[in-house]
Amino acid sequence: MKGISEIIATVLILMIVVGLAGTVFVYLQSSLLGRVSKNIDLIDVSCDAGGGRIYTTIKNFDPKLVLVVDPVSASEVSFRYNGAPVTPTTWIPLANITAAGSGAAQINCASPCPQGTTVTIKVIGPTNSVERSVIC
């Protein structure tokens, strides 16, 4: 009977170790997947028809990571103006968007926006994109 007890004890220890390893794996996987999800929202879009500028306010929903908004170097945000890509030199970010914060960016149009027309702005982030329309 002594040999059977040792085998049962070894099997039980292995089952406990495998169970703990599985629990740690599931916990780490769920926490890491939530961390790389940089979701954004386009909270506000306004138009300065005479000046040819469009002002946007972007919200970063990630509670841990900063959203890099830099038109010159590697940016995590890009814009589309009426479906056409906005070149990095024609938009100005006011700052990077902090974790769970919001920030603003200004798009300079090539020519003044015609008054009374609808302009569609699309902001493309690392994991999603949001589109809003504004009447100038």
Residue whose pair of structure tokens reads 């200004």 in the numeric block: 106
Computed on alpha carbons and rounded to an integer, the radius of gyration of the chain in Å comes to 25
What CATH number does the domain located at 40-135 have? 2.60.40
pLDDT at 93: 72
Torsion of CA 44, 90, 47, 123, to 10 degrees: -30
Question: What is the Cα–Cα distance from 101 to 103, expressed in whole angstroms?
Answer: 7
pLDDT at 4: 75
| Ranges of residues in the chain whose predicted pLDDT is under 70 | 1-2, 30-37, 49, 71-74, 88-89, 94, 110-112, 114
Sign of torsion, CA 47 48 51 56?
A: negative
pLDDT at 49: 66
Burial class (CB in 10 A: 0-12, 13-18, 19+), 75: middle
pLDDT at 34: 53
